[in-house]
Structure 1
Amino acid sequence: MTEPTNIEPLLTIEDLARMLGVPVPTIYAWRYHGEGPRGYKVGRHVRYRLTDVNK
């Protein structure tokens, strides 16, 4: 039996926009200007940690 892990699910840009109630281009603009929650590059995709969003 394996031990449960505390792996946090990562949000896509679309998930984040839906969660915050803002358009997807707003998330891209925040990222470009260095605003909003910190995004992480995973391969060629950007993902957001829920704990960073809730800060």
Structure 2
Amino acid sequence: MPIEQTDAVTEDREQPVESERGALVAVLVMVLLGVAGIFAVSCARRRAPPGQPR
């Protein structure tokens, strides 16, 4: 009867890889939101009517 062996190292590594991937996605989303916010503020300042500070 063959004994089934599992690789404990591979099983332990999959969870941290998924959490690292999630952290990377979260950082990318925050960077994109920051860039979009800066872009929105700069566009709003350009469209300010004359007489208002830019």
Q: Indicate the TM-score class for this superposition, using the shorter chain for normalisation.
A: under 0.3
Larger Rg: 2
Q: Which one scores higher on RCO, CA 8 angstroms, separation ≥ 6? A: 1
Going by fraction, where is strand more abundant, 1 or 2?
Answer: 1
Q: Give the TM-score, by structure 1 length.
A: 0.23
Relative to its length, the structure with more helix (as a share) is 2
